Amino acid sequence: MKRIGFLLKVRPDRVEEYKARHKAVWPEMQAALRRTGWHNYSLYLREDGLLFGYFETPISFNAAREGMAKEPINAEWQASMAPFFEALGDLRPDEGMFELEEVFHLD
Amino acid sequence: MKRIGFLLKVRPDRVEEYKARHKAVWPEMQAALRRTGWHNYSLYLREDGLLFGYFETPISFNAAREGMAKEPINAEWQASMAPFFEALGDLRPDEGMFELEEVFHLD
């Protein structure tokens, strides 16, 4: 398993709504994530909107993203989430995830 | 198991040395972490020094920190790491960890 860390930036004025939406992620979206290799996936949010994601995958960050990019439900979810994020330009939120370097691990 | 996310800020001019030190964390420090409930522990670093930590614990963030605070090796490690971090004042690095809210989880 690879352990992936990434960052995104939620708009500060949308933080509460972002949290509410993530208490009710569509079951089809959850199934697609599992099917495409997103496991033990958590999102952490700072009050100003800094968002950190962590997940484990048997493939790679890019392969997991590419798998989700082929899921029709993902296009719907990302379109519904796009207004919540800062500075993505024409990117979908899942295209704007910034991968971080793992510099330490202890099992 | 609780899943904990936290932030710290490494000084940008010390990022490379921080990474090098974390390729060789003292075995006694690793043993103390395991003994006090720090499991599946990873650190992620952005080039500007933003540091994100993730670990799993059967207790809580504060209980895991308090457990480490009682380990003599931790005082040595934190003293050796203190010059790497920004804006900690009189705090040890482990006292300056800012816990983040988990807003989503998928097993």
A94 falls in which pLDDT band (50, 70, 90)? confident
Which chain A residues touch B103 with a CB distance below 8 Å? 18-19, 22-23, 43-45
Looking only at the bridges linking them, the beta strands covering A2-9 and A98-99 are antiparallel
Picking from A10, A15, A54 by the largest number of B CB atoms within 10 A of its own CB, the best residue to mutate is: A54
Of A42, A23, A93, nearest to B106 (Cα)? A42
Return the pLDDT at B89. Answer: 77
Mean pLDDT of the region A91-98: 85
pTM check: above 0.95: no
Please give the ipTM for the structure prediction: 0.91
- Topology (CATH) of B2-99: Alpha-Beta Plaits (3.30.70)
Assigned token pair, B5: 């996310």
Picking from A14, A42, A50, A57 by the largest number of B CB atoms within 10 A of its own CB, the best residue to mutate is: A42
Beta-carbon contacts of residue B64 (< 8 Å; ≥ 6 apart): B4, B36, B37, B38, B55, B57
CATH of A2-98, one of 1.20.120.1200, 3.40.30.10, 3.30.70.100, 3.40.50.800: 3.30.70.100
Beta-carbon contacts of residue A45 (< 8 Å; ≥ 6 apart): A10, A15, A18, A19, A51, A52, B100, B101, B103
Report whether pLDDT(A88) > 80.
no
DSSP letter, residue B100: P
- A35 touching B, CB under 8 A? no
Distance of CA A78 to the CA centre of its chain: 10
- A77 touching B, CB under 8 A? no
A29 falls in which pLDDT band (50, 70, 90)? very high
Which chain B residues touch A98 with a CB distance below 8 Å? 46
Return the pLDDT at B87. Answer: 74
Rounded CA separation A1/A58 (Å): 5
